[in-house]
Amino acid sequence: MGNVAQAGSHSAAGQMTGYLYQCELALLELARRSWEDASCAVRMEVLDDIEFLDPDSYTPLELIQSKHREAAGPLSEAGKDLWRSVASWIDALEAIAASSSAAMPLLRLVSTQVAPADTFLSMLRSGADRDTRAALARMEKIAGDENGADGTAKDRELFMALTPSQRHQLVDAITVDDGAPVMSDLNPSLAKELGITPSDHAQAALDDIKGWWYGMAVGLLDRKNPQRKRPAVSAQELMCRRDEVLDRYAGKNLPITETLRNLTQAEIAGYEDQLVVNQMRWISLPDPEIAMHLREYHYARAQRSEWLRTFKITPERLGEYEQELHDEWEHVFRRRTRRFHGDMPAPERESLGQAVLDDTMDRAADRPARPGSITAPWIGRGTMHSLADQADTAVPDRAVGWHPDYKDLCKPREETQDQ
């Protein structure tokens, strides 16, 4: 165990945090712009860490270098963060000039460290004290210092190889955005820019949007799969997702964190011997319909468990909800089986059972899990199937079935033989 601590010396945690920070910073920047320009678009790792594009031509309007450092400290004039950013911008500007006649983009260095007051870095902040002329003179002096750090020598040489006019144009486009929040402090800024107000569901809503964003980021970074690759993500797309999520978590509505997906054949097979499937087979439901109902049963169970785990609903209220669903089923079942008689042919019994199922599902879809709220229709339908799956063990006022003889069919085989 003593060697475990030493393994940290080879850890890539800092580098990984830097990549995650870049991803979330792109989301933060896109959210900030979304309130004023829904057409703006972002991409990553093409010409720079983060790029904001002209929505019509997809030419860069802004290039952002993202520098995350957990350790507090000054941003150095001679350090790698600055000079590698400068070299990256020079390469990017050459690529832009070679492919289009686009104007000089804004060049931003976003750093969690702070530029000391007596450095050219502080002169390149936005605001009234910005002084690009003085900053350029200071940069040229540091770049030409033969005793400068070896790690930045090539980057400084690249800067000095520019013509004076090019250096002036480059520095004039640079903005230093220092003192940015570290990774662990980004959430409050993200919530503010996304318009997520403090509430019981605020963190869940933020997590939902961030989960969607990381999926978008995979598409932005995918260079090999044409089906997944995305050229950019627009502020309009983010606004749409934000509105969907905030609507879902608004007011008294219970949050929906599960996404309905078709079950695999292996997942369907796992339910084959359960009563929920037998109930549907007794009324000769075709396999595609059974698979459809199992999907809702599967995800409704997961969603109810998540609500209970995160204290979004009490077990008592969930029990009341199940009782309400049972009452809806009972109205359907008694009405549909009113004229049922013992010598009814098997096909007619099965047809009657299908009608009970269909009507019950329609009524369950409209029943909210919490009074005054809106619940996704599949929650009610899936929960009804949970009651059907327990019809052989449930207390009488919770048993649910589709076939008019479901009570006898649910009895254990040995009990049926004894009778």
Within 10 angstroms of residue 1's Cβ, the number of other Cβ atoms is 4
Compute CA 283 distance to the chain's CA centroid, rounded to the nearest angstrom. Answer: 40
What are the phi and psi torsion angles at 52 (to 5°)? -105, 135
Query: Which contiguous run of DSSP H or E holds residue 97?
Result: helix 80-99
With 0-12 CB in 10 A as exposed, 13-18 as middle and 19+ as buried, what is 292? middle
What are the phi and psi torsion angles at 253 (to 5°)? -65, 135
pLDDT of residue 58: 84
User: What residues of the chain score a pLDDT lower than 70?
Assistant: 1-11, 148-149, 227-228, 251-252, 394-396, 412-419
Computed over every residue of the chain, the mean pLDDT equals: 90
pLDDT of residue 4: 39
pLDDT of residue 14: 81
In 270-412, alpha helices (H): 275-282, 287-309, 315-336, 346-365, 377-389, 406-410
Q: Are strands 106-111 and 174-177 parallel, antiparallel or unpaired?
A: parallel
Does pTM top 0.75 for this prediction?
Answer: no
Q: What is the DSSP letter of 402?
A: S
In order, the DSSP letters of 17-42 are HHHHHHHHHHHHHHHHHHTT-TT-EE
Cβ-contact 368, 381 below 8 angstroms:
no
In 100-152, alpha helices (H): 120-123, 132-143
Q: Tokens 């254990």 — which residue?
A: 412
In 146-201, alpha helices (H): 153-160, 164-173, 186-194
pLDDT of residue 148: 66
> Within 13 Å and on the Cβ side, how many CA atoms surround 168?
4
Region for residue 6 given its phi and psi (left: phi exceeds 0; alpha: psi -120 to 50; beta: otherwise): alpha
Contacts of 339 (CB under 8 A, 6+ apart): none
Q: Are strands 233-234 and 41-44 parallel, antiparallel or unpaired?
A: antiparallel
In order, the DSSP letters of 195-261 are T--SSTTHHHHHHHHHHHHHHHHHHHH-SS-TTT--S-EEHHHHHHHHHHHHHHHSTTPPP------
Report d(CA 309, CA 29) in Å as an integer. Answer: 33
**Tokens at residue 177, please?**
């955005």
Report d(CA 250, CA 372) in Å as an integer. Answer: 12
Cβ-contact 68, 112 below 8 angstroms:
yes
